[in-house]
Structure 1
Amino acid sequence: MTTIRQFRWPDYDAVVAVWAAAGREPVPRAELNPELFLVAESDEQIVAVVMGTYDGRRGWILRLAVHPAHRRQGLATRLVGELEQRFTALGCPRVNLLVMPDNTDGLSFWQALGYIPYPDVLCSKPLQTT
């Protein structure tokens, strides 16, 4: 049985392993906010994760990853549903996310959950850190 729960700091290495298996770069500990960071756990192993944030105006889904050995079991849908419930409890009126243009499977997944693509222009500026 798979359970969904809030991320805890001792989970970090297992979460990094899921990101690596899914072909994603790790997010540094300093950038994590456990409040809206959920994990799916099966047989005491973390097999999927979703990160969200809320700025008081909009919710954002920043990263969703499922270990390849555990895909097509509804874990991503369950994680997103739980995150959406937490956004709702915070009074969040809208949730946004970014999908890369060539990620047709990802776009189909999000559209099936009711997310609507908008033709907004994403602007980004890399900052030099010291």
Structure 2
Amino acid sequence: MTHQDLAIRPYHPSDEAAVIALWRDCGLTRRWNDPKKDIVRKLTVQPDLFLVGEVDGVIVGTLMGGYDGHRGWINYLAVSPEHQRRSYATALMRAVERKLLELGCPKINLLIRSGNVAVTGFYESLGFGQDEVISLGKRLIPDC
């Protein structure tokens, strides 16, 4: 699938270095999450929901989707700073939404880090709204 000059396709193992560099450029990596381990883990569960967007053969966007049988989830939506504001993130979201619908997914959830609330407007423009929930987490396997 393409959106203007963006080609969206499933992640390939040869994409690892470019994807991790993109995540770092976009400020998505954290010291407590090893991005290599995140990729390895994703490739064991629904790897077809791990998408990359390319322009002229260069990876400029990613989206890691998932479906647990109850809700869809979005992680690692990223577009390189040089390629933002071109609707690439919207194209990636629409692509994963189609895939999730094909799986029978009734709702998508995503989390926004408290330091990244500037993206709230973007997600609202796609039809997302704030749920009345409290997110709790517990790490079972430390990455570092």
Q: Structure 2-normalised TM-score?
A: 0.83
Q: 2:114 aligns to what SS in structure 1?
A: coil
Q: What pairs with 1:80-95 in structure 2 (closer than 5 Å)?
A: 80-95=93-108
Q: Answer yes or no: is 1:42 the counterpart of 2:55.
A: yes
- Which position in structure 1 is the counterpart of 2:83? 70
- CA contact 2:61–2:80 (8 Å) conserved in 1: yes
Q: 2:62 aligns to what SS in structure 1?
A: strand
State the shift of 1:27 in Å: 4.7
Q: Which amino acid aligns with 2:125?
A: A
Moved more, 75-84 or 104-113: 104-113
RMSD between aligned alpha carbons?
1.6
- Which position in structure 2 is the counterpart of 1:2? 6
Say how many residue pairs are matched.
Answer: 130
- Which position in structure 2 is the counterpart of 1:16? 20
- Which position in structure 1 is the counterpart of 2:41? 31
Q: 1:112 to 1:67 in 2, by over 3 A?
A: same
Q: Tell me the distance in 1 between the aligned counterparts of 2:142 and 2:88.
A: 36
Deviations, residues 2-61 of structure 1 (Å, cap 9, x unaligned): 211111111111111110111121252322232101111001100000001111111100
Q: 1:19 to 1:128 in 2, by over 3 A?
A: closer
Q: Which residue of the other structure, out of 109, 114, 125, is the alignment partner of 1:101?
A: 114
Q: Which has the higher contact order (CA 8 A, sep 6+)?
A: 2
- Which position in structure 1 is the counterpart of 2:32? none
Identity %: 38
Q: 1:128 to 1:11 in 2, by over 3 A?
A: closer
Q: Structure 1-normalised TM-score?
A: 0.91
Q: Which residue of the other structure, out of 68, 80, 86, is the alignment partner of 1:55?
A: 68
Unaligned runs of 5+ in 2: 30-34
Q: 1:6 to 1:128 in 2, by over 3 A?
A: closer
